[in-house]
Amino acid sequence: MDASDESLAAVFNALDSENKGYITVDQFVSTFSEFYQSSDQRGRKISTAPCGVEQLLLILDPENDGIIHYQDFKRAFQEDLGLEESGDHGHEPYAPSGPDFMTSNSRCLSDGMENKTDDSGVHVHDPMAFDFDNDSSLSTDGFNGTHLLRDEGRRSWPKHRGGPHLHSTESPGSASRSDILGDVESNFELLHDRMKRMEAQVENISSTRSNGDESRINRLREENARFSAQITILEERLKEAEARELRNVEAERQHLQSVITRNERDHSLEVESLRSRIKVLESECNTLRLESLKIQADKQASVATQRKKSEDLAEAHERIESLKEEMKEMEETYNQQMEVLRRDRDHAVHVLEEMNNSLGDRRRSRTSPGSPVANTVASGSDLLIRYQESQEVVRRMITENKELRREVQDLQDQLVALSLDQGRSLLKPTEKSWASEIDTMTKEEVVELWTKEKHANQQLRQYIDTLITRILERHPALLEVASSVGR
C-alpha cells in the first residue's frame, strides 16, 4: 500500500473521533493493541513487546506530553515505510540509535535471552518484536502510561532467515542480525495489512457516516419544512399582533390627543379666569389705594379735629374751674343770704308772735275800756309790711337757690362728659402717620386695617352723635357756652 498523506490523514482522523486535532498516547496504544491481537495472513499471531511500543512512542511523542499530533504521526509512519522499502532493495534495515534505544534494547535483550541451541550460536532476541500467545493484552503502566502484559507461556523464537552461512557456529552475530531483519520485515508486512484493514474500516466509517449524514439531512429537511410552516404561522400571528398593536397604538394616540386637547382647553379657561381675577384684584387694589388716601385725609382731618377738641377740652376745663370758683362764691353768698333769711324769718316769726300776742291783747282790750286802739293799728300795719317784704325775699332766694342748683348739676354733667371724651383712645394724637403705616403692609393687612378704621370711625361718629343729642336734650347751654368761647 502507498503510504500517502491522504491515507495517513484518514487514519489519523479516524483515531481523532472528537476532531481535537490530536490523539492521546492511551488512545493510540489501545487501538494498536486491538489491531495486533488479530491473526495475520499466515495464521500466525503477532504482538509487539514493550520495548517496541516504547520505541514507536518515542517517535510519535517526542515531547513526552501524552499527546500525538498529526505531523509526528505522519513522520513516524513515513520513516517506517521508508525502512521497509530500503530492506526490500537490499539495504540494511532502519534501526533507531541513541541512548533511549540502547536502554530499551538492553532491557529487551535481558528479557529475551532464554535458550541456546546445540547446532548454532547464541540466539539473540529480536529487539523489535517477539512472540507470545494469543491472550496477551495491553494495560496502563510505566513509560507513557502503557506497557504490554505477557502471557504465562512464550512462543518459540522466530526462525532465522538467510543462507546457511548465517547459521554457522563461526558467526553468531550474523545469525542474530538476519533474525532481526526478518522479524522487522514481517512486522512491516503486518503493519501494511493493518493499514489496509484500517483503511477499510475508515471507508466503512465514512460510508456509515455518509448514510447517517443522509438520514440526518432528510431529518433536517423534515424539521426545516416543519420549522418553515411554524415560521409562516408565527409570521402571520406576528402580522396580526402588529396590526392589533397598531390599532391599539392608534386608539391610545387618539385618546391621549383628546386628553391633551381637553387639558389645553381647561388650561386656557383657567388662565383666562385667572387673568380676569387678576384684573379684578388690580381694580380692587386701585380702589383700596384711593380709599386709603381718603382714609389718610380723613385721619389727618380727624387728627386736626382731635387737636381742636383737645384745645376745646382744655378751655372747657378752665371754664369748669372758673365755674367751680363762681359756684363756691355763689354758695358762700347763698349761705350768707340764707343766714340773713333765717334771721329775717326768725324775726318775722317773732314779729308774728308779737302780732298775735298784740292781737290777743287788742281783743282783750276791746272788751276793756280805755285801751289805745290807734297805736295798735299803726304797729300792726308796719308788721304786715315787713312780713310781706320778708316773704318776697324768701321767694326770691328760693328761686335763686333753684337756679344755682340747676347750674351746679349742669356743670357736673359737663365735667363727666368731658372726662369721658378725654379717656377715649381715639382722641389721643399719634406720631406715626397713616402713609408710613401702610407702606410696610401687604394688601390683606391694608384691607383689614382699613376695615377696622372704618368700623372705628363709624363707632366714633355714632358716639359723637349720641353725645351731641344728649347735650341738646339735657344741657343746651353747654353748646352755647362752647360757641361763645369759640367766638
* Grid cell listed for 183: 522479524
Query: Which of these ranges, 13-17, 226-230, 386-390, has the smallest mean pLDDT?
Result: 386-390
Instruction: Return the pLDDT at 51.
Output: 55
Which range has the top average pLDDT, 212-226, 363-377, 399-413?
Answer: 212-226
Give CA–CA dist 180/481, Å, rounded: 175
Q: For residue 130, what is the DSSP state?
A: B
Query: What is the phi-psi region of residue 159: left when phi exceeds 0, alpha when psi lies from -120 to 50, beta otherwise?
Result: beta
- Calculate the alpha carbon distances from 373 to 187, 228, 368, 381, 386 in Å: 222, 180, 11, 13, 20
Instruction: Return the pLDDT at 250.
Output: 94
- The domain made up of 5-158 has a fold known as Recoverin; domain 1 (1.10.238)
Which of 321, 325, 327, 309 is closest to 486 using CA atoms?
309
Q: How far apart are the first and last CA of the chain?
A: 164
Torsion of Cα atoms, 383 then 385 then 387 then 389, to 10°: -150
Backbone angles phi, psi at 436, to 5 degrees: -65, -25
* Grid cell listed for 258: 383628546
Tens digits of per-residue pLDDT, 53-68? 677 777 787 887 888 8
- Say if residue 263's pLDDT is above 50: yes
Report the b/e string of 112-148 with b at 16+ CB within 10 A.
beeeeeeeebebbbbbbbbbbeeebebeeeebbebbb
Q: What is the mean pLDDT of residues 259-277?
A: 93
Q: What is the mean pLDDT of residues 222-244?
A: 92
User: Which pTM does this prediction carry?
Assistant: 0.24
